[in-house]
Structure 1
Amino acid sequence: MTTQDHQGAAEAADGQALAAVAGGLTYPIAPGYRVKVRQGPSTDSPVVRQLAEGARIQIRCQRHGQKVSGPYGTSDIWDNIAPGEYISDTYVRTGSSGMVAPLCTS
């Protein structure tokens, strides 16, 4: 595979992830939890709002941040659900212990 082929494959993967967000793919928050949404990927970051029990979220992108333990394990992956809004992936049932969305670029 050439460098151009690798780039095309990466763009296709990003396109699929973006299509999933655009297509309304949502993930459930762990049952029984009201999850705090923070400005950044850390529990030290200010809370901007709180998700209701039973909420479902769309993941725009993901980034590494503070390691957190939650109902779905321990991880440093944080899910960006809107501009300036992050929740720990350990409270989201994605079906994966890894990333399920593109890496946040900013």
Structure 2
Amino acid sequence: MTTQDHQGAVEAADGQTLAAAAGGLTYPVAAGYRVKVRRGPGTDYPVVRTLAEGARIQIRCQQHGEKVSGPCGTSDLWDSIAPGEYVSDTYVRTGSGGMVAPRCTS
């Protein structure tokens, strides 16, 4: 089991963007990782909680932040999984290298 200092990542096809936000589509955290959920889109933000290995997440919205490298590549995309909870898009398997949910508005 590996513990990461970054938040989980998520990627998926643009066709799944609205489904992810409205239909409850979930994405798996990269296999073998316990992903730290942070208060904002960067590793300087405090850790809110840690996702269990094998967890699945629903992406509410996405925004650009700190560039992070992880098992799913390198990206500055961060996924909001709840109000005030973000994971790096590089720690979630979405099947896409781009945005899969609407941009966060705040």
Instruction: State the TM-score, normalizing by the size of structure 1.
Output: 0.82
Name which structure has the greater RCO, CA cutoff 8 Å, separation 6+: 2
| Kept in 1: contact 2:21–2:60 (CA 8 A) | yes
Higher helix proportion (structure 1 or 2): 1
Partner residue, 1:3: none
SS of residue in 2 equivalent to 1:102: coil
The answer to whether the Cα contact below 8 Å between 2:28 and 2:56 also exists between their aligned partners in 1 is: yes
Partner of 2:51: 51
- Secondary structure in 1 aligned to 2:31? coil
Quote how far apart the aligned CAs of 1:105 are: 0.3
Larger Rg belongs to: 1
How far the C-alpha of 1:22 sits from its partner, in A, is 3.0
Matched residue type, 1:23 = G
Secondary structure at the counterpart of residue 21 of structure 1: helix
Structure 1, unaligned runs of 5 or more: 1-12
2:20–2:60 Cα contact (<8 Å) kept: no
Residue type at the aligned position of 1:98: G
Identify, as 1 or 2, the structure richer in strand.
2
Hey, which bits of structure 1, 4+ residues long, moved more than 3 A? none
Query: How far off is 1:20 after superposition?
Result: 3.3
* Percent pairwise identity: 80
Flag structure 2 segments of 5+ consecutive residues without an equivalent. Answer: 1-13
In structure 1, what is the Cα distance between the partners aligned to 2:104 and 2:52? 25
**Secondary structure of 1:95's partner?**
coil
